Chain A
């Protein structure tokens, strides 16, 4: 259609492990427009943009640039067609100057050597033309995050990009830097560029974008004009379950407090606040869920609780023990069982056997060894029981874990953590990337353990089904704070949840008082 500068049609992308990231997606971008591309984590936005930028190839579909069909097989093709991508994680070389970073790959030469002056000129030209206030001679490592992002944009512009993809650009910016960025983007729009703006932040989307395309679970739910939509409307489309999987469970009867977090605050290495005055408690016999868009402090909270990261202020007690400064070993001994977010890196040793993986947290315990020797018989029996109980599909207990499917690897992890005798289970994205059967089993077990064995569980998950059905109490995190608390998770509507997750609403301390 005329006025369209980009169109992606019927894009389907299936990864080699079988995961379908994009399902028959069609959308278009008009000239001189800022289009918002929204969707939860895992909705398929990043994959779609990777396909557009040549970093991935789609199984089906076409791409048309200015109504001409094009083939994009690598990033150079994309750049050639005028498409540029400003990544979420900056692709800059810190010790080089702005000019050097900008002209990297298209360096100007004079008599065979680098023409520095020309490079500075080129970078300066772009900066001036689009009103970036950046000194081309400055070293990137000395720049603020906002300025670094501008350099990324300059990189894209200097190569003549007319279609710019901005991947969650404001995730790392301060409010002031965000304002500056918006001015920049509007200026770019007016000078003829077209921008795809990927974001979760609905207030921003409403501010600078004219249209929005919504993705959910790999599907495109349509493209809409923003002047007809409120933030709640968008939220309703983004956050929702297609199929509601109910889990049968009794009402929880929470007993004593197992985990008590008071005023927890944590700064990252750059001094930014990642956890702010978090206070909550988890009791024996209940499952507390934490919902929220990824990157709002959930991982940091998880790191603090399992001992892999420290914290700056506040108090964290597990079974009455203060965990500050304690080693992972000591914290586990205080009663922690931990299902890590990244199971291949932190959850298992892929080259070692199932047996060796299961005893990793308990090899030192009395029953598991006789003097310095491992008690093979006891362990073998235990592992065999685990294989049966957790339905781990494998050849035998000596099989290296990396040979199992994702779901079975997670079952090994769960088998270890759930038989550790701990009364606090920290589960971070426990069913990500695994098959439906294994996921269901793990969720049911979490609930069962809380009811029958009175364990306290903290479930952090981006999967709505999981967090709404498995949790008893539900908390929502945003920007390092707890912004909502609900007494019964399965009564919370997705609409309402979405509003809190996306920042449209926030609960006051009074509203959350007894629910933390």
Chain B
């Protein structure tokens, strides 16, 4: 039986790697096919992200929001609710945090207090916003995917409105807010890598979430509810509260992500459209199989592929959207049970055959014993 578990874990790992491998291969083949100078382009794709210190730094920097939204979706996925509001929360939280930063910046609050405060506000924003799809789903059975997606659009417009009417800087050409006060900016660390300090927050959050999932009562309840709702109910776990709370906490992480992103990578808020980071988070969570510890790994992998695409885009003018296609394919492959399902079944079957042989012998003996007993039983009836 230990064999079965090892086989399962191994197949899971191979499946994830295979999915990424296939997707990467598709990407390579595509680049090869459409580019005029395939070897050059492919080298840019594969090695580009490592080509300079700045580039490696951008991979890490991109992995940071991916980690936050990945953690967010881990919570949603953990209770089997496809609440996709992480997208809108990310953007709206960035907006609110900018507004607060600009407003509070005048009071000369030191960075040591302002930054954690703003991150907290981001989390709070996400926490509250996530309540809308969660509650409407539980109370009114309003399709959570539709509601959260509609909400994302509403939040996008809301953010733009806030930007336009409350913090627009008229001195710059494009639409953007006033400059963020220095006290609200996350410093850049690791020198030439230019990685933003949000990386520490992200890593800290990964640890906190991992602990939450596996070492706290709340995490335990979440996992039981996600694993078997009926059993959760029969054991006395309050399903409604757990499901809603999980989504709220997930939303909080998306909110933190938005806050760190603005404070770390930007000098002002100038998002006029959704950043798509929410969907990236979905992919990260799916790749990490709902396991928060794997989230940063998946985030870095995804960031690497993205930056590779960015490099290709700037050097070869190929649009980055092809990465979105790759992402979709990976999600499909990783989530498809049939992908390598037969392979797994065959392995388990072979391993279990020995056990089956032993069982069959025992069973034959039992049937023979039963048959004798029935003969005796029949006689007594007649």
Known contacts A345-B231, A351-B227, A374-B220; A360 and B373 CB within 8 A of each other: no
In the assembled complex, the CB of B235 is this many whole angstroms from the nearest CB of chain A, namely: 4
Query: Is A352 on the interface with B (CB-CB < 8 A)?
Result: yes
B374 A308 Cβ-Cβ under 8 A: no
Asked if B103 is at the interface (CB within 8 A of a chain A CB), the reply is no
Binds A, one of B23-31, B39-47, B139-147, B363-371: B363-371
Q: Smallest Cβ distance from B122 to chain A, in angstroms?
A: 22
A306 neighbours in B (Cβ, 8 Å): 234
Contact present for B367 and A20 (CB under 8 Å): yes
B164 contacts A by Cβ under 8 Å: no
- In the complex, whether B2 has a CB less than 8 A from a CB of chain A is yes
Does any Cβ of A come within 8 Å of B237's Cβ?
yes
Return the chain A residue nearest B348 by Cβ: A403
Residue of A nearest to B234 (CB): A346
Interface: A106 (CB within 8 A): no
The 0/1 profile, CB within 8 Å of A marked 1, for residues 340-382 of chain B is 0000000000000000000110010001001101101110010
The digit string for A333-346, where 1 denotes a CB below 8 A from any CB of B, is: 10000101000011
* Option from A221, A359, A361 in Cβ contact (under 8 Å) with B236: A361
Interface 9-mer from A44-52, A157-165, A236-244: A236-244
Q: Is the CB of A373 within 8 A of B238?
A: no
Chain A proximity of B243: nearest CB distance (Å): 15
Query: How far is B216's CA from A376's CA once the two chains are assembled, in angstroms?
Result: 10
Given contacts A328-B234, A361-B236, A363-B220, contact A376 B215 (CB under 8 A): yes
Kindly list chain A residues whose C-beta atoms are within 8 Å of the C-beta of B370: 23, 217, 242
Minimal Cβ-Cβ distance residue in B for A347: B231
Among the 9-residue stretches A108-116, A266-274, A292-300, A394-402, the one with 4 or more Cβ atoms under 8 Å from chain B is: A394-402
* CA–CA, A371 and B54, complex, Å: 44
Nearest CB to that of A243 among chain B residues? B373
A364 lies within 8 A of chain B by Cβ: yes
Q: Does A175 contact B (CB under 8 A)?
A: no
Q: How far is the CA of A72 from the CA of B367 in the complex (A)?
A: 26
Closest CB of chain B to A417's CB: distance in Å?
10
A332 at the interface (CB under 8 A from B): yes
CB < 8 Å neighbour of A400 from B5, B211, B238 = B5
CA distance A349 to B235 in the complex (A): 10
Give chain A residues whose Cβ lies under 8 Å from the Cβ of B220.
Answer: 356, 359, 363, 374
Per the CB 8 Å criterion, the residue count for chain B at the interface is: 36
A348 at the B interface (CB under 8 A): yes
A328 contacts B373, CB within 8 Å?
no
Residues of B within 8 A of A503 (CB): none
Query: Are A346 and B230 neighbours in the complex by a CB distance under 8 Å?
Result: yes
Residue of chain B at shortest CB distance from A368 = B217
User: A373: which B residues are within 8 A, CB to CB?
Assistant: 211, 215-217
CB–CB A352/B236 < 8 A: no
- A219 neighbours in B (Cβ, 8 Å): 374
Whole-angstrom distance between the alpha carbons of A332 and B232 in the complex?
13
A20 to B221, CA, bound (A): 39
Decide if B381 touches A360 in the complex (CB within 8 Å).
Answer: no
Residue of B nearest to A329 (CB): B236
User: Does B80 sit within 8 A of A, measured CB to CB?
Assistant: no
- What is the distance, in angstroms, from A387's C-beta to the closest C-beta of chain B? 14
The contact of B230 among A23, A345, A351, A364, by CB within 8 Å, is A345
Interface pair B374/A242, CB less than 8 Å apart: yes
Complex interface residues of chain B between 220 and 261 (CB less than 8 A to chain A): 220-221, 223-224, 227-228, 230-238
Residue pair B5, A328 in contact (C-beta under 8 Å): no
A356 and B216 contact, CB distance less than 8 A: no
Residues of B within 8 Å of A360, CB to CB, are 224, 231-232, 235, 237
| B residues in contact with A348, CB < 8 Å | 228, 231
In the bound complex, do residue B371 and residue A23 qualify as a contact, i.e. CB atoms below 8 Å apart? yes
Chosen A-B contacts, 10 in total, with CB atoms closer than 8 Å, are A20-B367, A217-B370, A242-B374, A327-B236, A329-B237, A331-B236, A340-B234, A346-B234, A356-B224, A395-B1
Given contacts A23-B367, A363-B217, A369-B217, 10 further A-B contacts (CB under 8 A): A23-B371, A236-B381, A328-B235, A328-B236, A330-B236, A346-B230, A347-B234, A349-B224, A356-B224, A363-B220
Q: Which 6 A-B pairs have the closest CB atoms?
A: A329-B236, A349-B227, A360-B235, A349-B228, A346-B234, A328-B236
